[in-house]
């Protein structure tokens, strides 16, 4: 059996690293192949992790959020259903009960209560640092959807490609501020990239289109023709 610890994307990389470390620790303790993956917002995606499973394997999904997350549970089931319909794979996927229902969780919390404690003190200055009161001077703000559908469609690669290309052009946050978001709503058009203040929506973005967005729109300042979708438009641009 192969095990996937499935989490939602955290707001910081340390949260992602913690899930990967947990997977490694569980693998060592159980001698079972265990990997971490993410429903949205981080790599590898659930789809990518399932793609990596051996043919005819049995894969057990363990949702890691505490308390139980109805969003994670619902979209985990939908994501697996989508994966099945888009892959010709013979893989049996199972789902474990939520961690919050496991009796061992009570033991873990009890150990935390009775174990060693650390006194919290220190200077609260960084919490109120003036640096966090300044809006960046960016010329354009780019939103990249990393919701569960866009993640399944390849948003992780889009984010990486945009970041690498902008770095190659020497464009930092004061030029182009890239923000990963949750669902932007027209999910069937994903992966979605939105550029403000131009109000330009790019649909079905892949790595190739991400390079063109960085080169033509974000560096040269011209929205890519044929890929513009503004608020209020009634027609959806077809895929090329």
Dihedral over alpha carbons 29, 34, 40, 41 (to 10 degrees): 70
CATH of domain 2-100: 3.40.50.1400
What backbone phi and psi angles, to 5 degrees, belong to 43? -115, 150
Which of the four pLDDT bands, split at 50, 70 and 90, describes residue 132? Answer: confident
Compute the distance between CA of residue 22 and CA of residue 26 in angstroms, rounded to an integer: 6
> Domain locations in the chain?
2-100, 135-219
Rounded to whole angstroms, how far apart are CA atoms 34 and 32?
6
Residue 101 has pLDDT above 60, yes or no: yes
pLDDT 10s digits, 193-207: 999 999 999 999 999
Mean pLDDT of 179-191: 93
> Which option is the CATH number for 135-219: 3.30.70.20, 3.40.640.10, 3.40.30.10, 2.40.160.40?
3.40.30.10
Is this model's pTM higher than 0.85 or not?
Answer: no
Question: For residue 163, with 0-12 CB atoms within 10 Å meaning exposed, 13-18 middle and 19 or more buried, which class applies?
Answer: middle
């Amino acid at each position: 059996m192969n095990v996937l610890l499935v989490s939602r994307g955290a707001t910081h990389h340390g949260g992602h690293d913690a899930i990967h470390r947990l997977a490694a620790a569980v693998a060592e303790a159980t001698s079972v192949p265990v990997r971490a993956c993410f429903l949205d917002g981080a790599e590898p995606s659930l789809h990518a992790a399932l793609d990596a499973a051996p043919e005819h394997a049995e894969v057990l999904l363990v949702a890691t959020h505490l308390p139980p997350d109805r969003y994670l549970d619902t979209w985990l089931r939908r994501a697996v259903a989508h994966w099945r319909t888009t892959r010709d794979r013979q893989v049996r996927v199972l789902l474990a009960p939520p961690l919050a229902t496991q009796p061992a969780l009570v033991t873990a919390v009890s150990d935390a209560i009775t174990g060693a404690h650390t006194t919290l003190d220190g200077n609260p200055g960084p919490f109120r640092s003036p640096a966090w009161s300044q809006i960046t001077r960016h010329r354009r703000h780019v939103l990249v959807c990393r919701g569960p559908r866009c993640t399944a469609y390849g948003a992780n690669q889009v984010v990486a490609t945009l970041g690498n290309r902008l770095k190659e052009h020497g464009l930092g946050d004061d030029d182009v501020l890239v923000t990963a978001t949750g669902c932007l709503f027209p999910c069937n058009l994903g992966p979605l990239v939105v550029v403000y203040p131009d109000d330009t929506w790019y649909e079905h973005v892949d790595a190739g289109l991400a390079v063109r967005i960085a080169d033509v729109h974000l560096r040269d300042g011209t929205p890519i023709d044929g890929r513009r979708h503004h608020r209020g438009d009634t027609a959806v641009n077809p895929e090329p």
